[in-house]
Amino acid sequence: MMYLIDSCVILEFLLGQEKAETVEKFLASLQPGQIFISDFTLHSIGIILLREKLPQYFIEILKDIREGKIEVLGLEHEELKKVIKVHEKFGLDFDDAYQYVVAQKYKLKIVSFDSDFDKTKLGRLSPENLLSM
């Protein structure tokens, strides 16, 4: 299975938050070719890590991308209209609607702690769900 990993999942691990250990186990269980992030996620993580004065973690993510462990996907400018439609249909914020459209376009499962995805057709999986499967 292929997964679009939401920024909240990656930041949970990198910032050593409550579910960091679970996220670490989940990510370790995946193979290259299964881990995808959106370009929006990459930029969001960069903003937060630099704000937290943790640029070395961002460099590690860039290394994982360069080595093919993580693939970055995005939308073309004309596809951004779909983000607005998803926002209107499900009431998602821009970032979540963007993730949704990327997941839909590339046929990926969304992995997130954000319950806003639960009200969508694609839904979401959490790292805990996937580890217990």
The string of pLDDT tens digits covering residues 68-84 is 999 999 999 999 999 99
pLDDT > 90 fraction of the chain, expressed in percent and rounded: 96
Tokens (6 digits) for 95: 């970032």
Does the pLDDT at position 13 exceed 90? yes
Distance CA 83, CA 108 (A): 16
Does the pLDDT at position 99 exceed 90? yes
Distance CA 112, CA 77 (A): 25
The predicted pLDDT at position 43 comes to 98
The string of pLDDT tens digits covering residues 48-72 is 999 999 999 999 999 999 999 999 9
DSSP state letters, 67-97: TTSSEEE---GGGHHHHHHHHHHH---HHHH
Does the pLDDT at position 32 exceed 90? no
Does the pLDDT at position 133 exceed 90? no
Residue 24 CA, distance from chain mean position: 14
Q: pTM higher than 0.75 for the full model?
A: yes
| CATH assignment at residue 32 | 3.40.50.1010
Q: How many domains does the chain have?
A: 1
Does the pLDDT at position 10 exceed 90? yes
Distance CA 122, CA 78 (A): 22
Residue 115's domain comprises: 3-131
Nearest to 41 by CA among 3, 79, 78, 68: 3
